[in-house]
Amino acid sequence: MQPTRVISRHTKDLDTEYKWGFTTEVEEEVAPKGIDEDVIRYIWAKKQEPEWMLEWRLRAYRYWASLKYEEPRWASVHFPPIDYQGIHYYAAPKSVTGASSLEEVDPEIRKAFDKLGIPLQEQSRLAGVAVDAVFDSVSVATTYQKTLEKLGIIFCPFSEAIQKHPELVRKYMGSVVPYSDNFFAALNSAVFSDGSFIYVPKGVRCPMELMTYFRINSPDTGQFERTLIVADEGAYVSYLEGCTAPIRKSNQLHAAVVELVALDNAEIKYSTLQNWYPGDKEGKGGIYNFVTKRGKALGRRSKISWTQVETGSAITWKYPSVILQGDGSVGEFYSVALVNNYQQADTGTKMTHIGKNTRSTVIAKGISAGHGNNTYRGLIKIMPAAHNAKNFTRCDSLLIGDRSGAHTTPYIEVRNPTARIEHEASTSKVSDDQLFYCQQRGISEEEAHFMIINGFCRDIFKELPFEFAVEARGNLAAGSVPPPDCFVGCRLLAMTIRKRISGTGY
């Protein structure tokens, strides 16, 4: 084990609020503002998609239009009405021509990703991680595609998959999240532009982390990407997504759909480091992250695991879920959600147990600071056929600041007598006893807070992919590349605490 570095001494780092807020000057091609059938056709034509895709998009659009711009309002998040006609539904850098080789990528865009610590050269620092970089509505580069191809693994932009692997796309797209699932899924299905597609063939264990990095750049655009991951029998894949956006005064909508399908004995591990622009201290600007993520553990003894670290976005509203359909399948959900200033989060998971001997574990940690409001909302549903289903849920909330809110709303529905469901939750502040203990041993108050918060999230951080964690430590030591978002989230929080303490003349 490397000795732990006391990060909080680098107060310079902490003073920066949101480090990824720069904009990139590239000429972009954008669709006219607003949405109607012509815009859907425009996107379809831009992507040169086959006829069946147009039908699919239009069906979704017509369903969405029938909802009359009324988003569901049951979540405990508050936002002014969204002007759906004031958004560009498609924006792409002009220089991108569906580039496959790196030389074709606009140097400005390359620079942007370099700045984000996501180098697109394959021999770069993030060795062992294959990256699909998505810039606004399009994928600009995908690394290691050739290496992966040798194993039969398909890792490509979604639009490329529609062209090259239509049989797989048609079979699985919408099979987990149908277009009629909810308001934002319908909108996404109508206008989605890009995202990643992964197919891991039978018995193949993907040798490297696959990663998609989403970057919103253009103003007044919405990002609507779609990710589909299929793990065939006995396959394994670990996937990581990261996301950032420039600082802008107005809110931007990000409504993605992620579908995972795991066949017999397959395993998918999906990790998210979400760091969209959270808005400023007064709560102005920031991304609305309204995402539908769902996995279907279709095969016997299949496994789907979600790990998410949510530090960004003005509003996070998502429930990465697992449908445990195959007998003996396993679903996991590990989450840290951090809200600060005026951020809001309503996040959690849904575990639907259908098959026999299915198991699910939910560990959720919520941290609320400033005026932030954090809600865990989760559903554990045991269907009548799910004999011997088991679930364990633990959700803890930590409150920092007397203007913040932490809410826990679990829903448990059990319709089988052999099921075993356990749910535990707690809410508190950083305990005075723990702080006293640390300070008594010479650790400053700020560092003690940081340690305690870090410990609070440890169960989740340890679920992050190993390679990435190693890389993260390296980055921290080097100090030049921005550290992974989760750590920075923690550090920002420690900063907040320090400010609050000094503000109150503690």
Partner 1 sequence: MPQALAQHKSYQADFERLERGLRFGDAPWLQALRRQAMDSFDQLGFPTALRGNEKWKYTRVAPIAEAAFEHPFDGQPDRVQASDIQGIAPWDKGWTNLVFVDGRYSAALSTPNGAGSSMQAISLAAALATEEALVQQHLARYADFKDDAFIALNTAFLEDGALVWVPPGETLPTPLHILFITTEHQKPVVTYPRVLLVAGSNSRLILIESYISLSSNGYFTNSVVEMLAEEGAQIEHYRFARESPRAYHVGMTRAYLAKDSVLKTTSLTVGCAILRNDLMVLLDAPGASTEVRGLHLTNGVDHVDNHIDIDHAKPYTKSNQYFKGVLDGKSRAVFSGRVLIRQNAVKAQAHQKDYNIILSEGAEIDTKPALEIYCDDVMATHGATAGHVAEELLFYMRSRGLDRELARALLVRGFASEIIDGVGVDSLRSYLDRQLSQALPTHQPERSL
By the criterion CB under 8 A, which residues form the site for partner 1? 73-74, 382, 384, 397, 399-429
For residue 388, the tally of other CB atoms under 10 A from its CB is 15
Shortest Cβ 503–partner 1 spacing (Å): 15
Shortest Cβ 381–partner 1 spacing (Å): 10
- Output phi, psi for 465, to 5 deg: -55, 140
**In this complex, which beta carbon is closest to partner 1, that of residue 100 or of residue 427?**
427
**In this complex, which beta carbon is closest to partner 1, that of residue 121 or of residue 431?**
431
Shortest Cβ 406–partner 1 spacing (Å): 5
Percent of the chain as helix, strand, coil, to the nearest 5: 25, 35, 40
Shortest Cβ 450–partner 1 spacing (Å): 17
Tokens standing for residue 98: 């569906």
Shortest Cβ 59–partner 1 spacing (Å): 23
Shortest Cβ 125–partner 1 spacing (Å): 39
The residues with which 33 forms a beta bridge, in sequence order, are 88
- Output phi, psi for 503, to 5 deg: -65, -35
Burial of residue 175 (CB within 10 Å: 0-12, 13-18, 19+) is: middle
190 — alpha (psi -120 to 50), left (phi > 0) or beta? alpha
Long-range contacts of 18-23 (CB under 8 A, 24+ apart): 18/247, 18/277, 18/278, 19/482, 19/488, 20/115, 20/116, 20/244, 20/245, 20/246, 20/275, 20/277, 20/482, 21/245, 21/246, 21/247, 21/277, 22/112, 22/115, 22/246, 23/217, 23/246
Question: Interior CA angle at 412 toward 314 and 388, to 5°?
Answer: 130
Q: What is the rounded distance in angstroms from the CA atom of residue 290 to the CA atom of residue 328?
A: 31
**In this complex, which beta carbon is closest to partner 1, that of residue 273 or of residue 383?**
383
Shortest Cβ 122–partner 1 spacing (Å): 47
Strands 267-274 and 420-429, sheet pairing = unpaired
Distances in whole angstroms, Cα of residue 169 to Cα of each of 239, 459, 474: 18, 35, 38
**In this complex, which beta carbon is closest to partner 1, that of residue 147 or of residue 409?**
409
Closest CA to 258 of 158, 336, 348, 190: 158
Distances in whole angstroms, Cα of residue 176 to Cα of each of 239, 310, 321, 330, 409: 18, 23, 10, 16, 24
Shortest Cβ 375–partner 1 spacing (Å): 8
Question: Interior CA angle at 65 toward 63 and 68, to 5°?
Answer: 120
Shortest Cβ 398–partner 1 spacing (Å): 9
